[in-house]
């Protein structure tokens, strides 16, 4: 291999390396509040929800749902995202979850199409048309970045306490970022193939 060839490959490697550094996004860890002490019937405690401090601009939010009144048919759940702490902020978006009979677990609501400001407070609210569903939660304040809400009141109401609901917030990569990563990986593959081809010709 000639010196010009080595210089050209070095420049290509430098370009792809720079792409890797500038275009690979950094995402925060998942927010997970997995402590629970009981169940809270969604319909009875509406408006019911959880405030949280955003760590990423694009997220999925998931409450931990469990059936409570199993003699009823499971009704759809509406999960909404509001600006600020509590239910007085602007509605940013909402989605409907249709969970199967007997489902128990985290059910993610996709809010990746909404751009949040990391460090700001937001509130996830859940509503249902019947008493089938409950969310799990803790009477203790175990998450420092927000609070649980029962009937619109932070920390609980009616002599019932909800320090925090059981929930998780997952970061969602932006499509543009994923496209840049794909371009970078494709460049690495092409560079590797070029090196292999030249090595074979040199034999």
pLDDT tens digits for 155-175? 999 899 999 999 999 999 966
Q: What is the pTM of this model?
A: 0.76
**pLDDT at position 120 over 80:** yes
Structure tokens at 130: 């019947």
User: Would you place residue 111 in the very low, low, confident or very high pLDDT band (cuts 50, 70, 90)?
Assistant: very high
pLDDT digits (tens, 9 = 90+) for 81-107: 999 999 999 999 999 999 999 999 999
Minimal CA–CA distance to 165: which of 12, 59, 24, 32? 32
**109 neighbors 9 (Cβ within 8 angstroms):** no
């Amino acid at each position: 291999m000639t010196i010009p060839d080595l210089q050209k490959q070095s420049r290509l490697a430098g370009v792809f390396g720079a792409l890797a550094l500038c275009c690979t996004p950094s995402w925060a860890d998942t927010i997970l509040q997995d402590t629970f002490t009981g169940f809270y019937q969604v319909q009875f405690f509406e408006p019911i929800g959880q405030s949280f401090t955003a760590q990423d601009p694009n997220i999925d939010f998931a409450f931990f749902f469990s059936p409570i009144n199993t003699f009823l048919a499971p009704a759809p759940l509406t999960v909404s995202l509001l600006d600020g702490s509590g239910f007085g902020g602007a509605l940013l978006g909402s989605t409907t979850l249709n969970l199967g009979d007997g489902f128990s677990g985290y059910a993610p609501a996709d809010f990746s199409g909404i751009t949040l400001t990391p460090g700001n407070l937001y509130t996830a609210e859940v509503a249902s048309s019947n008493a089938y569903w409950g969310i799990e939660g803790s009477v203790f304040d175990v998450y420092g970045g927000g609070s649980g809400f029962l009937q619109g009141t932070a920390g609980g109401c009616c002599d019932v306490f909800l320090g925090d609901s059981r929930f998780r917030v997952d970061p969602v990569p932006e499509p543009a970022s994923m496209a840049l990563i794909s371009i970078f990986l494709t460049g690495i593959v092409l560079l590797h193939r070029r090196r292999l081809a030249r090595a074979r010709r040199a034999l």
